[in-house]
Amino acid sequence: MNQHMEIDLYNSWRVVIGASRSINGCLNRIRPYEMDQNVPKWILFQYSLLRVDMFLHSMNLKFLRNGDYSITSEERQQLESVIKVYETIRDEYKSESNSPVSFIDLLSEQMMIIDEHYTNTIEVIKGF
């Protein structure tokens, strides 16, 4: 891997880790008892964040195991999707929308890249 790619990847990791740390601030605004008919979307949102964290955890383990930042093109695409998920959450938080779960549908495309089972999960959660 050349130096330019290593710098880009390092900066991407910094963005992702920073967004991951600040997500708790966003979640504090959302109170489950206020969800009413949006409980399934809240569950999907929690599942999405869990899957993002699991992906990041697996990438950290891979780094520790291999001792380098080499990633496959699929992992790069997933990492880019993680960044887009966090950017969407941040943008919605800053917009102070009236419905705290209105943006969850915006995450679907990126989540399908991160989690191959996301479509099935949506179907299961719709059953609630």
The string of pLDDT tens digits covering residues 43-55 is 888 889 888 888 9
Do 69 and 10 contact (CB within 8 A), yes or no?
A: yes
The vertex-27 CA angle with 104 and 125, nearest 5°, equals 40
pLDDT band at 110 (very low <50, low <70, confident <90, very high): very high
In the chain, % of residues over pLDDT 90: 23
What's the predicted TM-score (pTM) here?
A: 0.71
Q: Find how far residue 85's CA is from the centre of its chain.
A: 5
Q: What's the mean pLDDT in 7-18?
A: 67
Please state, in angstroms and rounded to a whole number, the distance separating the CA atoms of residues 105 and 95: 16
Q: Which residues of 27-54 are buried (b: 16+ CB within 10 A; e: fewer)?
A: eeeeeeeebeebebbbbbbebbbebbee
pLDDT surpassing 70 at residue 95:
yes
Burial zone of 63 (CB within 10 Å; 0-12 exposed, 13-18 middle, 19+ buried) = middle
